[in-house]
Chain A
Amino acid sequence: MTLQIAWPTSDYSRIPFHLYHDEAIYALEMERVFRGPVWNYLALEAELPNPGDFRTTWVGDMSVVVSRDQDGGLHGFVNRCAHRGAQIVRKTHGNATDHVCIYHRWCYSATGELIGIPFRRGLKGQGGMPDFDMAANGPRKLIVESYRGVIFGTFSDRTEPLATYLGNFGCGMIERFMHKPIRILGYQRQMVGGNWKLYNENLRDTYHASLLHEFFVTFGVDRATQRGGVKMDERHRHNMNYAYAATDTQDEARAAYQGTAGVTLDKLTLRDPTLLRYDREFDDGMNLAAPCFFPNGLLIQINNTLATRQLRPKGVDSFEIFQTVFGYQDDDQAMIDHRLLQSNLIGPAGYVSMEDGEAIEIVQRATRPETNGTSVVEMGGRGAIGDLEHRVTDVPIRGFWSYWAELMGVEPPGGVR
């Protein structure tokens, strides 16, 4: 399919609204982006500690199984029976030596090989399919690799090596979060009625963070007046928003936000501010770090809350945010309790995150009828895309679109990268 996008500008400073609503584009994205030459975030090794452990996870809107074999190796395969297309694994997680499709009991190894077909040789010399090549007809495999315990998968043999894909920036950030063994605390899920790209934009839009999330501003967890910025990989497809707490004063912030409708610093005081406590646990001093990995992964630290998020598209106008919250194995009970209490900041009920669900849904709703409209993306500059040492910017959104356009084969003439 040849796709043509009428980009008004070559620097992605205008995004056509129809890209959030077009079913045909969505179908192509599943093929060219998610199943294209990218590494998708799948799961954490800490979720699959033992031989035989498996989890069902997602590449775009396709269910895949990631599993650990008896030798500790990681594997991934499409969760669809080679026979009639039924879902093979129906649990979210578990431990098994093999997986049997319930429909006709075709059997798969933990590594995704088709190893058994009932009555393959027929019965009493009748029926069956004796010349069927099981080895050649198994489910499609993913190439699966772990970087410091974070598992990624790709369907394409053209994908660059994982460490190259993540870049120095991405590898460094994963090393930071995974600097010692982690402990899974649990999961949070949120279903949002919006296109999956709106969430990728949200993650790269540092401009919104301290305006939409007023709780952030009020308590200085994240403010535009603090030292911070945005970093990208060389291709500008991944991004990180970061900040250092306590690098501004309440007075500086009050002066800067003065006149901003809807945001003041003095509306709310907490009777019990315990949940805001920040115990410094990284050498670099950042209290907020949110490196996101094209097209579906995120690591996020907000003070002492640590998590990964997997973006799961559920159709052109819906996606799930699947958040895996973790601490470290050497956390004592007091630290675990602190992380849990601080979880009030994050997730679908989070003081500093609930708003994103609503912000994305109102964009999805309002842009639907306006097929010729575009959004404006020029906060922080037009033209070239690059890192910035401030956060009054949405430049990384343009980085996302430039790589999206490259993978989709729809870059405008002279399109920036």
Chain B
Amino acid sequence: MTPREAIQDLMAEYGLLIDEDRLEDWIALFAERCSYRVVSRENVEQGLPQVLMLCTNKDMLLDRISSYRQVNEYNFHSDRHVIGAPRFHGEQAGLWRIEASYSLFQTDVEGVSRLFSVGRYDTTIVFEHGHARLRDMTVIVDTAAIPTLLATPI
């Protein structure tokens, strides 16, 4: 498998694992040293650093998911990601950078779906033990006005 193919597989896996509620497996797609942040496009365009979610290491990602599982209350829903073909920005010192658009639909317990969020991923990828892994994942949401709440990762 070429690095490009491995990265394409990684992104496909990324969306499916969230959609299947396998969030612990989703975390395994991140490199040992990693970060995950969700920011809104309106802040980015104004040069403002405010975040919606921020995990600067893997422990914080694990905390996000265990808090979601164990103490937070949220709207029951399932997710469906549609992730576009990544745009490759090349590789530097073992670090690949890609951008990809996403649409995220949510479906409630009565089977009613809504468009929850659109935006793009801007991420760097490293290879660890031969596997493509996410190093710094930034989710830039166009949908700055979050419908209801944001409990599950994008």
Query: Which A residues are closer than 8 A to B by beta carbons?
Result: 92-93, 184-193, 212, 214-215, 218, 267-268, 270-272, 274-275, 320, 325, 336, 340-341, 343-344, 347-349, 351, 354-359, 361
A268-B71, A348-B148 known; 4 new pairs, CB 8 Å cut-off, are A271-B63, A272-B63, A348-B149, A351-B67
Provide the residues of chain B in CB contact with A275, threshold 8 Å.
60
Residue of A nearest to B38 (CB): A349
Judge if B145 is at the interface, Cβ distance under 8 Å.
Answer: yes
Residue of B nearest to A320 (CB): B145
Provide the residues of chain A in CB contact with B42, threshold 8 Å.
92, 187
Query: Which B residues are closer than 8 A to A by beta carbons?
Result: 38, 40, 42-43, 46, 48-57, 59-60, 62-64, 66-67, 70-75, 144-151
**Known contacts being A92-B42, A268-B66, A354-B72, is A190 close to B146, with CB within 8 Å?**
yes
Residue of A nearest to B144 (CB): A189
How far is B54's CA from A93's CA once the two chains are assembled, in angstroms? 26
Contact in complex: A187, B48 (CB < 8 Å) = yes
Provide the residues of chain B in CB contact with A357, threshold 8 Å.
75, 148-149
Pick from A186, A274, A355, A361: contact of B72, CB under 8 Å: A355
Contact in complex: A268, B67 (CB < 8 Å) = yes
Smallest distance from the beta carbon of B24 to chain A beta carbons, Å?
13
Residue of B nearest to A341 (CB): B54
Q: What are 19 A-B contacts with C-beta separation under 8 Å?
A: A186-B50, A187-B42, A189-B146, A190-B148, A190-B149, A191-B145, A193-B148, A215-B67, A268-B70, A272-B60, A275-B60, A340-B49, A340-B51, A341-B54, A343-B52, A349-B150, A357-B75, A361-B75, A361-B148
Provide the residues of chain A in CB contact with B147, threshold 8 Å.
191
Contact in complex: A358, B73 (CB < 8 Å) = yes
Pick from A93, A187, A192: contact of B40, CB under 8 Å: A187
Contact in complex: A336, B63 (CB < 8 Å) = no
Smallest distance from the beta carbon of A87 to chain B beta carbons, Å?
18
How far is B120's CA from A339's CA once the two chains are assembled, in angstroms? 25
Provide the residues of chain A in CB contact with B146, threshold 8 Å.
188-191, 348-349
Residue of A nearest to B152 (CB): A349
Contact in complex: A344, B75 (CB < 8 Å) = no
Pick from A187, A271, A344, A359: contact of B54, CB under 8 Å: A344
Contact in complex: A186, B60 (CB < 8 Å) = no
Provide the residues of chain B in CB contact with A361, threshold 8 Å.
75, 148
Provide the residues of chain B in CB contact with A188, threshold 8 Å.
40, 50, 52, 146
Smallest distance from the beta carbon of A219 to chain B beta carbons, Å?
10
**Known contacts being A268-B70, A340-B54, is A186 close to B148, with CB within 8 Å?**
no
